[in-house]
Amino acid sequence: MAAGQYEASLGKKVYKKRIAIGNAGKSSGSRTIVAFNIGNHMFFIYGFAKGKRANITSKEKKALQKLASVYLNYSDKELNIAVKQKLLFEVENNG
């Protein structure tokens, strides 16, 4: 997925992406916050239903940017250890 496919850049490689839930469609579905580095890894770091809250706060945005920086700077070895210890889990797209 290219960075241009996101609805909003929140800065520092953090993006907000709308997703459809059931038959609701994207506009009334949920929002995900992802950290994304082109050609590397993508981390889903937060999600919320649009009906429950309109957006994240500026304080949350800064915290998510810091978290993204940590995750995006993990080496493959560090990621493998985190997955093995069940601190992170990998989502695979098999088609």
| Residue 31, token pair as written in the block | 């929002």
Which of 68, 7, 9 lies closest to 35 in space, CA to CA?
Answer: 68
Digit-coded pLDDT (tens) for 31-61: 888 888 876 688 989 988 877 887 899 999 9
Give the Cα separation of 34 and 9 in Å (integer): 10
pLDDT for 41: 82
Digit-coded pLDDT (tens) for 9-32: 899 999 988 887 766 656 667 888
pLDDT band of 7, cuts 50, 70, 90: confident
- pTM equals 0.75
On whether the CB atoms of residues 68 and 35 are closer than 8 A, the answer is yes
Give the Cα separation of 28 and 9 in Å (integer): 19
